[in-house]
């Protein structure tokens, strides 16, 4: 094994997904050096199929990061959203309810690709396929990170460490247990999702509540559809042929939607459990958590990627203030500011999940309350305004 190679940077970023790439790009635009460490290959990161509904704040962050050109041409603007229940489709007009605000459908894979291209054009330093990443002296003024790549040992001395490495990453696990409070909640079902090269069944996202379970109609572009159905946690992919999926999916949609459904072979299929998690302290010494390293929300409210973006908004601003003016208030206040928005988004995501999914353990009374909740949303302009305000994204 070769001797250790020493590097030095301002911010060591653990994780090369959207949160880490966004942070590195924004810091670079303010002449703040960073190094990204990612345990997977670039091909793996770009191959992950993830969220696609973007709040306006996320789109604005893309523009600030210098990657707003492609989304302007390829992003799909959605002025409303559909809620289907009891074989009827109801429209919620996001634009009119929020004073002109909308959401944009643009896949996380596309954002990641845009960010990689931006970092490449600026000679950003990204180490892929690293292992044994270890964070040291986080509670001191001189933290550092060690890792291995291709059997070569490295050490990065830095001012700060940004943990953007997801729920299973090393960053959060490096915080002493007595310095961290974690909140967890798991749901008794998951989402079976498929990607199909077919025209979307609707020009807007449709959330459908049905006695057989929840379903979701989404898309990535005009010829790439992303569909989901609620399934048992005991189900496996081998249990679900394409034919079975399409049959069940169509059953859960109202006729005015299912009549437009065009089926085809899936190009990707996966089952993801639904859960919620929040680390109620995103800062320990010189370490700051962002994205899934600090929180996970049920995907029902389309908040996962958008919360990562708002984290980066707060954290990048705090680091820029520190390096440009020596102000530390933003760094000290980062966790509280980010968590205020996180918990509100968790609340919305969990409310949507409870309202739209079928829970086998619910009593007849609870099922009637769920029905009343949906009916109230459909009938009440005030309830729709609350939904729209949260769906398009709370202000930063």
Helix/strand/coil for 139: coil
In this predicted structure, the answer to whether residue 226 has a pLDDT above a threshold of 80 is: yes
The residues that are catalytic are 78, 207, 299, 303, 391
Mean of all residue pLDDT scores within the chain: 96
Q: How buried is residue 222: exposed, middle or buried, by Cβ count under 10 Å (0-12/13-18/19+)?
A: exposed
Q: Helical H runs in the chain?
A: 18-28, 42-47, 56-64, 69-74, 94-97, 108-121, 170-173, 242-251, 255-258, 304-325, 329-356, 364-379, 381-391
Residue located via tokens 């409210």: 301
- Same domain assignment for residues 72 and 219: no
CATH code, domain with 222: 3.30.9.10
Residues 140 and 244 in one domain: no
Q: Within this chain, do residues 235 and 284 fall inside the same structural domain, yes or no?
A: no
68 and 17 co-located in one domain: yes
Domains contained in the chain, number = 2
Whether residues 68 and 170 fall in one domain: yes
What pLDDT, on a 0 to 100 scale, did the predictor assign at position 60? 96
Same domain, 382 and 309: no
Residue 151 in domain: yes
Report yes or no: 28 and 124 within 8 Å, Cβ to Cβ.
yes
40-97: pLDDT as tens digits:
999 999 988 777 899 999 999 999 999 999 999 999 999 999 999 999 999 999 999 9
Question: What local confidence, expressed as pLDDT, does residue 356 receive?
Answer: 98
Domain for residue 93, yes or no?
no
pLDDT at residue 91, rounded to an integer: 97
Query: Rounded to whole angstroms, how far apart are CA atoms 119 and 104?
Result: 23
Average pLDDT on 253-258 reads 96
Whether the predicted pLDDT of 383 surpasses 60: yes
Residues 71 and 168 in one domain: yes
pTM of the entire predicted model: 0.95
Q: Does 2 score more than 80 pLDDT?
A: no
Give pLDDT tens digits for 134-173: 999 999 999 999 999 999 999 999 999 999 999 999 999 9
In a domain? residue 174: yes
In a domain, 92, yes or no: no
CA angle, 94 then 214 then 97, to 5°: 10
Same domain, 362 and 344: no
Q: Is 90 among the domain residues?
A: no
**Do residue 18 and residue 146 come from a single domain?**
yes
Range of the domain at 118: 5-77+102-183+276-352
Residue 94 forms part of a structural domain: no
Per-residue pLDDT tens digits for 258-293:
999 999 999 999 999 999 999 999 999 999 999 999
336-369 pLDDT, tens digit each: 999 999 999 999 999 999 999 999 999 999 999 9
Query: Over the stretch 193-223, which tens digit does the pLDDT of each residue have?
Result: 999 999 999 999 999 999 999 999 999 888 9
Residue among 212, 182, 209, 218 nearest 302 (CA): 218
Q: Which residue in 215, 260, 211 sits closest to 371, CA to CA?
A: 211
Give the tokens for residue 277: 């998690």
- Give me the pLDDT at residue 1, please: 53
In a domain, 96, yes or no: no
Please check whether residue 259 lies inside any domain of the structure: yes
124 shares its domain with 226: no
Do both 365 and 348 map to the same domain?
A: no
Assess contact for 95 and 56: CB atoms under 8 A: no
**Both 66 and 200 in a single domain?**
no
Whichever domain contains 34, its CATH number is 3.50.50.60
Q: Comparing 122 with 222, which gets the higher pLDDT?
A: 122
């Amino acid at each position: 094994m070769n001797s250790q190679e020493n590097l030095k940077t301002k911010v060591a970023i653990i994780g090369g997904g959207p949160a880490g790439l966004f942070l590195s790009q924004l810091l670079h635009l303010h002449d703040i050096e960073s190094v990204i460490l990612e345990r997977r290959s670039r091909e793996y990161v770009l191959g992950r199929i993830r969220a696609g509904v973007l709040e306006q704040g996320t789109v604005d962050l893309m523009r600030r990061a210098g990657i707003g050109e492609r989304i302007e041409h390829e992003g799909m603007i959605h002025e409303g959203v559909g809620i289907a229940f009891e074989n009827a489709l109801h429209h919620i007009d996001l634009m009119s309810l929020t004073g002109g605000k909308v959401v944009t459908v643009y896949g996380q894979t596309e954002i990641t690709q845009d960010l990689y291209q931006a970092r490449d054009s600026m000679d950003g330093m990204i180490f892929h396929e690293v292992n044994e990443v270890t964070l040291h002296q986080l509670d001191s003024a001189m933290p550092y990170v060690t890792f291995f790549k291709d059997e070569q040992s490295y050490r990065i001395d830095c001012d700060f460490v940004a943990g953007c490495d997801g729920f299973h990453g090393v960053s959060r696990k490096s915080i002493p247990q007595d310095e961290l409070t974690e909140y967890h909640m798991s749901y008794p079902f998951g989402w079976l999702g498929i990607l199909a090269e077919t025209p979307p069944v609707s020009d807007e996202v449709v959330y459908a509540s049905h006695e057989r379970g929840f379903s979701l109609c989404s898309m990535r572009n005009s010829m790439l559809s992303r569909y989901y159905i609620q399934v048992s946690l005991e189900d496996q992919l081998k249990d679900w042929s394409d034919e079975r999926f399409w049959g069940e999916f169509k059953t859960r949609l109202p006729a005015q939607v299912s009549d437009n459904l065009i089926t085809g072979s899936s190009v990707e299929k996966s089952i993801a459990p639904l859960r919620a998690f929040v680390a109620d302290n995103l800062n320990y010494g010189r370490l700051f958590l962002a994205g899934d390293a600090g929180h996970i929300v049920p995907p029902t409210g389309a908040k996962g990627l958008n919360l990562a973006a708002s984290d980066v908004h707060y954290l990048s601003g705090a680091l820029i203030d520190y390096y440009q003016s020596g102000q530390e208030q933003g760094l000290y206040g980062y966790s509280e500011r980010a968590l205020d928005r996180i918990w509100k988004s968790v609340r919305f995501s969990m409310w949507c999940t409870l309202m739209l999914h079928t829970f086998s353990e619910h009593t007849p009374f609870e099922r009637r309350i769920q029905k009343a909740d949906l009916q109230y949303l459909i009938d009440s302009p005030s309830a729709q305004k609350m939904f729209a305000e949260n769906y398009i994204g709370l202000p930063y």
